Amino acid sequence: MSRIGKQPVTIPAGVKINVKGSLVQVEGPKGKLEFTAHPNMKLEIDEATKALKVTRPDDERQNRSLHGLTRSLVKNMVEGVTKGYEKRLKIEGIGYQAAMDKDKKTVILTVGYANRIAKTPPAGVTVELPDPTTIVVKGADKQKVGQFAAEVRATRKPEPYKGKGIRYEHEQVRRKEGKSFSSGG
């Protein structure tokens, strides 16, 4: 048995889970998410223990891998509608900064290119700028939050010589030593 797949997903108070065949709908205080599970995976809600259990038909390789994946995706959905997800990005470099558009939806990045780069977050994802060098991406869907944060970071990845660019808050950037000018032959 899959160690992760056989653990039930506890349903906290204030969260509604609806299972129709392989469609799972999770609704909570932070939003509403839905996910279509693989048809081989069986999802059932145990009302007595307030938990959702994922089962697989056999020990075939694909079903074993889908078992833990399905359980993890449902758990992430439940956590997303209760607590939400957040990624923090830091901008480093002289003159590098972020600003919000007039409509407060689009992030405008000034990161050393000739033009400013505008990034619009997908539906369900919000962006906050506590200061011009910090970007906070928030939302209920873990995948959308991570994807948008990765797209923002990809506009100017941190370079190894001076460390300039956009990085995650606690990301360690491997630094390299620059050219050394020696007076020898």
User: Rounded mean pLDDT of 136-146?
Assistant: 95
* C-alpha triplet 47, 52, 58: angle, nearest 5°: 125
The whole-number pLDDT of residue 36 equals 95
Please state, in angstroms and rounded to a whole number, the distance separating the CA atoms of residues 141 and 144. Answer: 5
User: Rounded mean pLDDT of 2-21?
Assistant: 89
The whole-number pLDDT of residue 138 equals 95
The whole-number pLDDT of residue 183 equals 67
Query: What CA–CA distances, in Å, run from 98 to 43, 68, 127, 160, 173?
Result: 43, 39, 11, 21, 20
- Per residue in 25-70, pLDDT (tens digit) is 999 999 999 999 999 999 999 888 999 999 999 999 999 999 999 9
**Residue in the structure block whose two tokens are 């970071």:** 153
The whole-number pLDDT of residue 2 equals 66
SS3 content of the chain, % helix, strand, coil (to 5): 20, 35, 45
The whole-number pLDDT of residue 185 equals 55
Please state, in angstroms and rounded to a whole number, the distance separating the CA atoms of residues 118 and 115. Answer: 10
- Per residue in 146-173, pLDDT (tens digit) is 999 999 999 999 999 998 999 999 989 8
Q: Is the pLDDT of residue 184 over 80?
A: no
- Per residue in 84-134, pLDDT (tens digit) is 999 999 999 999 999 999 888 899 999 999 999 999 999 999 999 999 999
Q: Is the pLDDT of residue 182 over 90?
A: no
Beta carbons of 51 and 9 less than 8 angstroms apart? yes
User: Rounded mean pLDDT of 15-25?
Assistant: 92
